Amino acid sequence: MKRIAPLAFTSFFVLGLVPEVSADKAGHHPDPLPPGLDQAIRDPKVAMIVDATILKYNKAGHGEIKVHTIYKPAVSGKKIKVTPPKWIRGYGYVGSDKIAPLRIVAGGRPGRFLFLLDGDLLYSTYNNRFPIREGKKGALVVGIGFNGGGAPWKPLKDMVKLIPGVASPGKK
């Protein structure tokens, strides 16, 4: 009898977790997956979107960037002048003065990304930087998902067409 009580308790405990596990697999998780690039890039509140390479990090974890292309939104049919920062500090937490340094957000290594920016901070989305690499036939592709590795990959030129007010990218 002493062995049956712990076994019964364990069985009921495990059975109590089954609805939670199956709910997660069915997509009923309390925290929905963050939007991929095809949704985030359409957000008109994003002040600036740039194709940039992180060159190096300073001691605070801020990243020095080299901008390849600036994507400028149109305001009332006019192009506005946008000056990207030379350094990106990282991701600022909403309602707090704390900042997750870019070194942590970008995985600690230099690389090329499509950044959604708000000044010198990453724009406040779950996924605010998307890796860029050379794909087949030398065309640039961008990782549009939220999985740490970037996949799935889509042509960069197709994705920037989704930016509100951008007909063609502005070169820098």
Q: What is the pTM of this model?
A: 0.71
What SS3 state is found at 11? helix
- Domain shared by 27 and 42, yes or no: no
Q: What is the number of domains present in the chain?
A: 2
The answer to whether 118 touches 11, Cβ cutoff 8 Å, is no
- Domain shared by 49 and 124, yes or no: yes
* 49 CB neighbour count, 10 Å cutoff: 28
Per-residue pLDDT of the chain (172 residues; tens, 9 = 90+): 555 555 554 454 444 544 444 444 444 444 555 566 777 888 888 888 999 999 999 999 999 999 999 986 655 556 667 789 999 999 887 778 888 999 988 888 899 999 988 889 988 655 667 899 999 889 999 988 765 566 788 999 999 898 887 655 444 4
- Domain shared by 42 and 126, yes or no: yes
- Domain shared by 123 and 150, yes or no: yes
- Domain shared by 81 and 14, yes or no: no
- Domain shared by 98 and 69, yes or no: yes
* 140 CB neighbour count, 10 Å cutoff: 18
CA–CA dist 115, 130 (Å, integer): 7
Tell me which residue range forms the domain holding 14. Answer: 1-31
Instruction: Provide the token pair at 144.
Output: 């549009």
